[in-house]
Amino acid sequence: MTGHDELIKELFSFSSELHQKTVQAHQAHSTFIGRGKILCLLAKHDYIYQNQLAKFAKIKPGSLTQILEKMETDHLIIRKRDQRDRRLIYVKLSHEGKKQLARNEQYHREFQEFMTAPLSEAEIEQFISTLKILRGRFNEYIKQKEMGKK
């Protein structure tokens, strides 16, 4: 096996394992990934209309409604109808939602610190640079394939 083969094998293996185990860890220690994204978006606004939240989260309105219903049941958010336009529903973080967000942020900080602890700043910068190069090449490859080139 060449170095090129091993690099790609390790990259794909790590990527797959990272995704799989991150999902498992989020479910065990934090909140579901979709909910975490919603919590982060809501933290940036005192309140936001549900249709705006769907656009920001890049989630279909029907899917967002299902997520928000579960989050409301778990007391993570508060939803209310706009008094001037009853068709609009605004969403904001509840006290429990803010606590969950803080737990999520702490979990992510600990994970990042643990993962990067053995690396120097120079190694981190080099790795980021290498990943950017690989991402660019990947995007170029996909673009060529989409255009029918080999």
Q: How far is C-alpha 20 from the chain's CA centre?
A: 14
Say if 65 falls within a structural domain: yes
Same domain, 41 and 80: yes
User: How confident is the model over 107-145, as pLDDT tens digits?
Assistant: 889 989 999 999 999 999 999 999 999 999 999 999 998
Domain carrying residue 68: 13-118
50 and 108 in a single domain? The answer is: yes
- Any domain includes 136: yes
Is the model's pLDDT at 146 over the cut of 60? yes
Instruction: Residue 46: give its domain's CATH number.
Output: 1.10.10.10
Query: pTM for this one?
Result: 0.73
Looking at the structure, tell me whether residues 17 and 29 fall in a common domain: yes
**Joined tokens for residue 124:** 């981190």
Report in angstroms the alpha-carbon separations of 86 from 61, 97, 140.
17, 24, 48
Do 106 and 57 lie in one domain? The reply is yes
* Chain-centre distance for alpha carbon 71: 17
Question: Does a structural domain hold residue 90?
Answer: yes
pLDDT tens digit sequence for 50-96:
999 999 999 999 999 999 999 999 999 999 998 999 889 999 999 99
Rg of the chain's alpha carbons, rounded to an integer? 20
d(C-alpha 75, C-alpha 92), whole Å: 11
Are the C-beta atoms of 36 and 24 separated by less than 8 Å? Answer: no
